[in-house]
Amino acid sequence: MTKQELVNYLELLLQKTFPNINHIEVALSGGIDSICLLHLLSHLSTKCGFLLSATHINHQISKHSNYWEDFCHQICDSLNIPITSTKVIVNLNGGNGLEAEARKVRYEVFKQSKANVLALAHHSDDQSETVLLQLLRGGSPKGLAAMPKVRKLNNKNNTQLWRPLLNITRTQLEKIALEEGWVWIDDDSNTNTQFKRNFLRHNVMPILLKEYPDYKNQFMRASQHAADAADILSEVADTDLKILLIDDRTINLDILTTLSPARQRNAIVTWLCKFNINTNPTLINSFLSDCLHMLELDNYYTDNFNLDTFNSKYDTLDILFLLSNESKSTIEYIPNINVNSKTYINPKYSKQELFKKIGLDNYIKLLAILLYLHKV
C-alpha cells in the first residue's frame, strides 16, 4: 500500500463516517503510528476542508518525556498544525497497573477536546493484541469486541473517538513512513516485556504470525462477532431491566429469579455498569447464588451466615443489600459503603439506622453481601 492509496482510503472512510466534519484532533504521541496519522490527515485537511489540530499528553514517566513533547511541537509547527500539550500525573502505585493508570489520565485529557472528532492511531496489530489480552483476562463479549472504530467520548462537546487505521497493519505504516522520510520517536518502554501488551507483541505474536499468517484478519472477524453478541446482550438486558427495576437502584429479586441464570447475570452486570462499576461475571454468578441461597434460610442471623466468611470471598469496595420482606424481595445498590471488619460506614444510612435495619425490623431481613469488584 502506498501513501496515496492510504490517503484515498481515509478520504472514503471519512466521507462515509463523518460527511460534515469541520474539526479533527489527532492524539499525537510522537510514535510512528500517530506520526503517520498526522501526515495522512494533513494531506486530507485542505482537500476536505476541515481544521486539523493535535494534542500531546506528557505522562512525565520517562526521562525522555519533555523531549517527546518538544518533538511533537516541532513536527506540528513544520506542518502548520496547531497543537496543545498537557502534563499529567500518573498514579504509579495504582492498583490497576501503570498502563491502565496512564490510560485513565489520558482519557481525562481527551474529554477536554473541543473537536468534533478525536483521531487515535490504533492499527490492526493493536487490535489483535487487545483481543488476545481480553481473552487471557476472561473478557466478556464487550471486552472481546476490543476497540471500536467509532465511539462517543461522552464529553460536553459530543466528541467522537475515531480509529481510522484499525484495518491497517503496523508493517504497512512503517513502509509508508520510511518511503516518505517521515521522522518519529521510539518509546523505549515499548521493548519492556514486563508490560503484558509488550510481552504478547514481542514473544507471542511472532509465533502466531508464523503458524497463522492470517491471524490479524481472523482476530478482526472474531472481534466483530463479539461486538454483535455484546449488542444483543445489551438489548436483552435493557428489556429485562425495564421489568426488573423498581427504581434506578433497586431490582425486584422475585422477578429476577424467573429468568435463566445467564439472563440474571447479564441483567446484574449491565445494571452495575450503569454505576460505572467494572464487574467480574464469574463472581457475579457466585454472588447471585449466595443471595438466592440466603433467601432460603429460615434464620439469617445464625451461624449459617458469617460476615467474615463473605469478607474472605468478596472484596470490600462496595456493597449490595439483599432485602426481603413479606411482599417482595429486592437487591438495592448503595454506593460508597466501606465495610471494615464489622464496622459499617454508610452515607445513606447512619450507623445506628443501618444496625436498626439489620437487627430490629422483623419485616426486613437485611444481608450485607460484599461484592468483589474486579479491576480490569
DSSP 372: P
| Residues in Cβ contact with 297 at an 8 Å cutoff, skipping those fewer than 6 apart | 304, 305
Q: Long-range pairs for 4-7 at CB < 8 Å and ≥24 separation?
A: 6/40, 6/168, 6/172, 6/176, 7/40, 7/43, 7/44
One digit per residue, the tens of pLDDT, for the chain of length 376 reads 899 999 999 999 999 999 989 999 999 999 999 999 999 999 999 889 899 999 999 988 888 899 999 999 999 999 999 999 999 988 877 656 777 788 888 989 999 999 999 999 999 999 999 999 988 887 888 888 889 999 998 888 889 999 999 999 999 999 999 999 999 998 888 888 888 888 999 999 999 999 999 999 999 999 999 999 999 999 999 999 999 887 777 777 678 778 887 888 788 778 877 766 555 555 555 555 555 554 444 333 333 334 344 444 443 333 444 333 334 445 555 444 333 333 333 334 443 444 444 443 322 233 333 222 222 2
Number of alpha carbons in the 13 Å side-chain half-sphere of residue 197: 14
Identify residue 92 by its one-letter amino acid code.
L
C-alpha cell at 305: 451466615
Identify residue 203 by its one-letter amino acid code.
N
CATH architecture of 3-223: 3-Layer(aba) Sandwich (3.40)
Which pTM was predicted? 0.73
Concatenated DSSP letters of 28-53? --SSHHHHHHHHHHHHHHHHHT-EEE
Residues of the chain with CATH 3.40.50.620: 3-223
Tell me how far apart the alpha carbons of residues 28 and 73 are, in angstroms, rounded to a whole number: 10
| Residues in Cβ contact with 4 at an 8 Å cutoff, skipping those fewer than 6 apart | none
Contact 182, 37 (CB under 8 A): no
